[in-house]
Amino acid sequence: MAVLPLPTIPRRITLIFIIFFAFSALAKAERYSVLSYGAKPDGRTDSTKAFAAAWSRACASTKPATIYVPRGRFYLGQVRFQGPCKNHAILLRIDGTLVAPSDYKVIGNAKNWLIFENVNGVTVSGGTLDGQGAALWSCKKSGKGSCPSGATCKGVKVSAAGNSPNTDGIHVQSSTGVTILNSRIGTGDDCVSIGPGTSNLWIENVACGPGHGISIGSLGKESHEAGVQNITVKTTTFTGTQNGLRIKSWGRPSNGFARDILFQHAVMNNVQNPILIDQNYCPGEKNCPGQDSGVKISGVSYQDIHGSSATEVAVKFDCSKKYPCTGDQITRCKAHLQESAS
């Protein structure tokens, strides 16, 4: 019998096969329902321990694992999803609503509600996160281990009051390979904030509002600080937000940097500062007046940004005097914005 050689598989088809294989693996994953560990979908009973228990079982599994949150409202205090885990394929599937405490003191000094530390290959899918004034999802490095990588957040609705202070929807820091897809975020602060040490971040199809937009920074708070690089933000919509696409750094010396950043296909609806680079950030005018930001910004592209601005200035580059924004640094800025009638 003749054996015919297999045809060369194009790279795109190979990628589709890999994704299909990954989802097939998740379909056969170990399943841990939070109800089995005592969670109550009444919006009042504290289900923190139940979620922690389900996470512990999924993290300890050597097989792909799914943590399932059914319909209903689940009240949670601060939950720390901590690794390292024995597998790199954990899916947190949310069909219900997670409700944060309305009292900041309940979540402690960390000021974050749901924290993922030292984990790889975690996916958060679906559901609603009702922040009630808490900073919502944080993905960052723990001082005890390595940075999270390969985490995915998709199809999530994040909700906090527009006047609630310091309520970042999703905060990413000291992480690589994080993906945020197909989500709606409304907060009193940044919809997504991107901190030092973040690389290879992909944000796509995200609606932001209310809130302060999608922000890289603040950077340069420390004199020695990891940089930010390879950031893609595409197909986003901002409605009634304070900012749209923002990069901000403290106005003081630092060895930090932000480079290779693409902002593409964004719609602005009555946004106060649609495009903003602010390198003179100095809250309270303490420890930075009269100094220049040491953060070097380079390789930033703005493509197909359009819509309406709530102010006369739709594009503002307030750059460092020491490392100014130049034509070599801000590579492309293709924006079509008009001042809104309001």
Provide the annotated active-site residues.
212
Residue tagged 């930001």 (tokens): 293
| H-state helical runs in the chain | 11-27, 48-60
Q: Which amino acid is at 230?
A: N
Q: Is the separation of the CB atoms in 89 and 51 below 8 Å?
A: no
Q: Write out the DSSP string of 168-181.
A: -SEEE-S-BS-EEE
Closest C-alpha to 195, from 148, 163, 130: 148
Q: Provide the 3-class DSSP secondary structure of residue 251.
A: coil
- Bridge partners, residue 139, by sequence: 116, 172
Residue tagged 């040490």 (tokens): 197
Total Cβ atoms within 10 A of residue 320: 21
- Bridge partners, residue 271, by sequence: 309
Q: Which two tokens stand for residue 279?
A: 């390198």
Cα separation values, 73 from 93, 106, 199, 233, 268, Å: 14, 18, 34, 31, 32
- Within 131-253, strands assigned E span 135-140, 152-154, 157-159, 170-172, 179-186, 192-194, 199-208, 214-219, 228-239, 243-250
Listed in sequence order, the residues at least 6 apart from 203 whose beta carbon sits closer than 8 Å to its beta carbon are 179, 180, 181, 192, 214, 231, 232, 233, 234, 236
Q: How far apart are CA 233 and CA 238, in angstroms?
A: 12
Cα 141 versus chain centre, distance? 14
